Structure 1
Amino acid sequence: MNMIQAINSAHDVMMERDPDIAVLGEDIGYFGGVFRATEGLQKKYGRTRVFDAPISENGIIAAAIGMAAYGLRPIAEIQFADYIYPAFDQIVSEAARMRYRTAGEWPMPMVVRSPYGGGIFGGQTHSQSPEALFAHIAGIKTVIPSNPYDAKGLLIAAIEDNDPVLFFEPKRIYNGPFDGFYERPVTPWAKHPSAEVPDGHYTVPIGKASIVREGNEVTILAYGTMVHVALATAEAEGVDAEIIDLRTIVPLDIEAIEASVKKTGRCVVVHEATRTAGFGAELSALVQERCFYHLEAPVVRVTGFDTPYPHSLEWNYFPGPVRLGLGLRKVLED
């Protein structure tokens, strides 16, 4: 399966198991979503369980919160992560706090799915990476898969979770992984080990990172699309890098990070979002606090630029092997 198929399969598996699961969002019913992640679900499960919503993100999330409070398990799709901001107050002030405000009486078993990041030349309104905004909010879990196997397992785990989960899907790798140099997938998921996705039910634990490449010289912390860029860069540079796919940034597998950095003595953080107050700043601070006496050089961040998201120049905006390679050389030479 590619990542879209894996996400669709996760919906299908869980909707067949649990009649309380419903899916809502813009164009997710008959049309199957702009990326076809919900294709065929309305035909199979009917319009009361898979239904189109008006173009009102705050309304979509508000409805999902009400459904979750009532006892259902809604999956709300926000068509692009850039559109999530009108619903920010609903997510932060209601979904994230409901369990605490009710002393555990009302859990919030809801998932908010959204394609995020660049890769389709969508410009400023279809390409943003807002994960750090939600990582700041207590009460929300934030998941970002990097491959089809993890996407399905993590989405099933998110649907089964009794807390609200934001599930950001890197649209740049929906159909295949990048090596970081090209604008189109260069390796179909069909030829990738992580595309071996079981048809049935399985979970990938939320809050558990994955070591996708073992090494001893430097630790690279990445998630989503940047995992593939990190892999390509390590090979191109001939660096004995240990690459950790965080998979979920909240909760964060700090134990895996700490163990790796203490082993390698060096750390590079890479993400697509803008640099200032990006999640890489939190990762850098945590590494500094926990691994200071093991570090052989300062932590290096390789990120998007602090500029409005470009349209035609988005491939210059992405951290790629050239910029990540410079970051690796900097941390190894210090």
Structure 2
Amino acid sequence: MIDKIKEYIAEVEAFQAQTAEEIEAFRIKFLGKKGILNQFFAEFKNVPNEQKKDFGQAINELKTGAQQKVSTLKDDLESKEEEKGVYGDLSRPAEPVQIGSRHPISVVKNQIIEIFSNIGFNVSEGPEIEDDWHNFTALNLPEYHPARDMQDTFFIQTDPDILLRTHTSSVQVRYMENNKPPIRTISPGRVFRNEAISARSHCIFHQVEGLYIDKDVSFADLKQTLLYFTKQLFGKSKIRLRPSYFPFTEPSAEVDIYWGLETETDYRITKGTGWLEIMGCGMVDPNVLKNCGIDPTEYSGFAFGMGIERIAMLLYQIGDIRMFYENDVRFLEQFRSSL
């Protein structure tokens, strides 16, 4: 009889359950009114006196083991159910994670950087809070120069010599001061101008400006560089350069690409001409080279600059520049594939 009890003790120790129904069936089998323990208690009176002590100890061991097993299994099951309630079914496949998207400004900026990197241009950066020398004076814009009015500037009130940069040409000045030719760099960054916000202009926008300084650099080098760029970014192989004026380049030009007149949209954005202005450029003025410690009799160079927002508006046919800054998820999600 004692050997039979020991078999049940081993069965209790080995028992495992995954559901409340299995635990309840186990409890009834051992601890119920008609369970195994009550059957052994009923047999106790028929056990010889010399075996009663060992028999009683075995029954108590079985009873204690069965009760502890039921309690432990219930606690484990409740713990799992609680986890499931908080975290869901941990055995299920994970929910798909939505991939974010880059901002269209970042997408276009990275495309421009990659194109110029392929022909040897590095990337230079500088502070957004500038001094008058790097933003104006070194760029052939001395104090009271009328061309300063071309760029409505945010000045820092506590110091009239400190301002928010109006172009990333200030980065080029710093680069020329600290590096000897040959120089081949582009300067992407955020700039600030005190302009009214509308569908076509904003007080905060982004520029990429390029600079190439070396011996015997010509206007033909500039034209070929810009032609390569427009082919790579727009897929357009026809450009024109119109005479223009910038204080820090001489001669200066505006760059147009031939967009075409194939659709109604082409007519609208080109005003029926087929041409679109995309940037300004020119040969670096000798005074700028001299201000930055470069001998203009030995070196020459060209510079160019474009607004990233304007390029993005052309590439993606966006009609309102303010959309770049409103963080409308419906707008930004359209660029999810542009990683």
TM-score (norm 1): 0.22
Name whichever structure is richer in helix by fraction. 2
TM-score (norm 2): 0.22
